[in-house]
Chains A and B, each alone.
Chain A
Amino acid sequence: MDALTAHLSELGHGLVTTVELTVVTTVGAMLLGIIVATLRIAPVPLLRAIGTAYVEVFQNLPLLALLVLFVFALPTIGITFPLFTSAAIVIAVYEGAYLAEAIRAGINTVGVGQAEAARAIGLTFGQSLRHVILPQGLRAVIQPIGNICIALLMNTSLAAAVGVVELTQAANTVNLIEAQPLAVFTGAGLAYMLLALIIGQVTGLLERRLAIVR
């Protein structure tokens, strides 16, 4: 326990970085997910192909390989960002593919009649998507989106492997100094479980408030 209290500030910084990384990438991935899901159902074949290629590529590449490519290899062609930004971009792009698929599954649950009605009153593709399809589709998949957010939280730990000092890395550093693995790693594990619990509670609350009973 002493190891935990003696290094509270390091571990606290790590926890804050993990939370920041999770929030920033969730927002980014959500926006990307909506855009890509829209591309995948657009009436334009080329846009559909681009959306499909995006999902196919980023669901089949390991996140760590993407992080390594982006952080270590892209600087050789002159593309550099601060470390935190790099990690946030890569994780958002990666999780965006999963969110796009979840959102597309949500769109599939919206009744055909809804879309037909939207067209019948003269809404364009974009309008019917914005006002009729997406609001209902998103509300149908709050639970899966919550699961992806928990996976995203766990995946932010991979940023440690390219040098971002978030919770996992902070725990590792503290352990190397104090050599009290049991306390330090259990503490970090509990912090992750607590964060996941919060995400789970928030999605549960959202689902109860927003879910549409059909």
Chain B
Amino acid sequence: MNQTQQILFDEPGPRARRRIRIATVLGAVILVGAVVAAVYQFASHGELAAARWEPFTTWPIWRYLLNGLWATVRAAAATAVLSAALGLLLALGRLSAHRPLRWLAGAYVEIFRTVPTLLLIYVTLFALPQYGMNFPLFWKLVVPLVVSNSAAFAEIFRAGILALDRGQTEAGLAVGLRRGQVMALVVLPQALLQLTPSLVSQLVGLLKDTSLGFVVSYTELLYSGQVLSSYTHLLIQTFLVVALIYLVVNASLSKFARVLQARNGRFTGRRGRRSADLPPSLTEGNIR
């Protein structure tokens, strides 16, 4: 029982325990009812036949889906590295002492935070080729993802840098470091440590974004599912399995972010507490 629950209700007495039991039974009945309705719906359309699920116990099908997953991971990794690097530069630009730099970085972030990624994908698919920029398939997915994710990364970095105690910068300047050195040696290492959980959560969002490969026909996991289902005609089974794979991979990443968060709180004490001051959208995972 965590803190929230202690706030909202006392240790239940006999009457409350009875009510809890009743609510549990009611909840269980509704849950079982929903499962039964779903199974009935599947069964009445013949989708539960063993023959329609059996292919998913065979290696060739899994090899194909795992290839899709590997393509997803490759696209996500490329996007993560490039957009984190670009995001860091943009964050530094937004915090820079030079006004034009601040303005440019600010405009970039504000624009690409509010333009849908799919629109950017359509631009790379249908607009850029007319101007002689025809990327290979992989980059048609990765470039738009980098453009939009770098804006998100920039905001995470900026929040982390701003959340760090001003005294850290002042102390750095006082011992004679230049501004750039203070940033590289004092501020960034601490901000990054504190931001690791937010950055890992952003990875989940980014991995989900790679499903837009569906639109550009890049054979990542979702598009692989599409190809597979049009070949086997096992539509709902394939997409359920694909969803399950996404769920397992992303839930593991989310879990990892929570472990990091708990560990940051334990090892860095004061700093861990400060990460609680960041807006929830940054600490509570990706907003997309």
Interchain CB contact (< 8 A) of B222 among A62, A79, A116, A168: A62
Contacts A102-B280, A160-B118 hold; do A69 and B8 have CB atoms under 8 A apart?
A: no
- Contact B45 A78, beta carbon cutoff 8 Å: yes
Does A66 have its Cβ within 8 Å of any Cβ on chain B?
yes
Does A47 have its Cβ within 8 Å of any Cβ on chain B?
yes
- Contact A101 B285, beta carbon cutoff 8 Å: yes
CB distance from A77 to the nearest CB of B (A): 5
Nearest-neighbor residue (CB-CB) of A98 within chain B: B287
Does B81 have its Cβ within 8 Å of any Cβ on chain A?
no
- Contact A45 B114, beta carbon cutoff 8 Å: no
- Contact B122 A47, beta carbon cutoff 8 Å: no
Does B243 have its Cβ within 8 Å of any Cβ on chain A?
yes
CB distance from A17 to the nearest CB of B (A): 14
Contacts A78-B45, A171-B122, A189-B111 hold; do A155 and B10 have CB atoms under 8 A apart?
A: no
Interchain CB contact (< 8 A) of B24 among A46, A133, A147: A46
Contacts A185-B119, A192-B115 hold; do A41 and B287 have CB atoms under 8 A apart?
A: no
Contacts A64-B222, A119-B9, A172-B126 hold; do A192 and B116 have CB atoms under 8 A apart?
A: yes
What's the Cα separation between A98 and B209 when bound, in Å? 16
Interface hits, B186-216 → A, CB 8 Å: 204, 207-212, 214-215
Does B27 have its Cβ within 8 Å of any Cβ on chain A?
yes
- Contact B236 A74, beta carbon cutoff 8 Å: yes
Does A203 have its Cβ within 8 Å of any Cβ on chain B?
no
What's the Cα separation between A158 and B127 when bound, in Å? 19
Contacts A73-B239, A168-B119 hold; do A44 and B287 have CB atoms under 8 A apart?
A: no
Interchain CB contact (< 8 A) of B284 among A46, A105, A158, A192: A105
What's the Cα separation between A63 and B285 when bound, in Å? 16
Contacts A72-B235, A193-B111 hold; do A61 and B280 have CB atoms under 8 A apart?
A: no
Interchain CB contact (< 8 A) of B20 among A43, A60, A185: A43
Residues of A within 8 A of B242 (CB): 65
Does A121 have its Cβ within 8 Å of any Cβ on chain B?
no
What's the Cα separation between A202 and B80 when bound, in Å? 33
Which stretch in B157-165, B169-177, B245-253 binds the other chain? B245-253
Does A86 have its Cβ within 8 Å of any Cβ on chain B?
no
Nearest-neighbor residue (CB-CB) of B209 within chain A: A62
What's the Cα separation between A61 and B240 when bound, in Å? 11
Which stretch in A4-12, A24-32, A173-181, A206-214 binds the other chain? A173-181
Does A108 have its Cβ within 8 Å of any Cβ on chain B?
yes
What's the Cα separation between A208 and B220 when bound, in Å? 45
- Contact A61 B250, beta carbon cutoff 8 Å: yes
- A interface size (C-beta, 8 A): 74
The bracket for how many chain B residues form the interface is: 35 or more
Residues of A within 8 A of B254 (CB): 56, 59-60
Does A157 have its Cβ within 8 Å of any Cβ on chain B?
yes
Does A81 have its Cβ within 8 Å of any Cβ on chain B?
no
Question: By DSSP majority rule, is chain A's interface helix, strand, loop, or mixed?
Answer: helix
Does B57 have its Cβ within 8 Å of any Cβ on chain A?
no
Does A151 have its Cβ within 8 Å of any Cβ on chain B?
yes
Contacts A62-B208, A105-B280 hold; do A115 and B122 have CB atoms under 8 A apart?
A: no
- Contact B208 A161, beta carbon cutoff 8 Å: no
- Contact B127 A44, beta carbon cutoff 8 Å: no
- A150-170 Cβ-contact flags toward B at 8 Å (1 or 0): 110111111011000000100
Does B12 have its Cβ within 8 Å of any Cβ on chain A?
yes
Which of B12, B45, B117, B123 neighbours the largest number of chain A CB atoms within 10 Å of its CB? Answer: B123
Interchain CB contact (< 8 A) of B247 among A57, A107, A110, A128: A57
Residues of A within 8 A of B235 (CB): 72-73, 76
Give chain A's interface residues, CB within 8 Å of chain B. Answer: 41-47, 50, 56-57, 59-66, 68-69, 72-74, 76-79, 98, 101-102, 104-108, 110, 112, 115-116, 119, 125, 128-129, 133, 141, 143-144, 147-148, 150-151, 153-158, 160-161, 168, 171-172, 175-176, 179, 181-182, 185, 188-189, 192-193, 196-197
Q: List 14 A-B contacts (CB under 8 A).
A: A59-B254, A69-B240, A69-B243, A72-B235, A73-B235, A110-B7, A151-B287, A158-B212, A161-B215, A172-B126, A185-B119, A185-B122, A189-B119, A193-B110
* 10 A-B pairs with least C-beta separation: A181-B127, A157-B116, A60-B250, A196-B114, A62-B211, A62-B208, A105-B280, A73-B236, A154-B116, A44-B23
5 additional contacts (CB under 8 A) given A50-B31, A68-B225, A69-B240? A60-B251, A62-B211, A66-B243, A72-B239, A144-B287
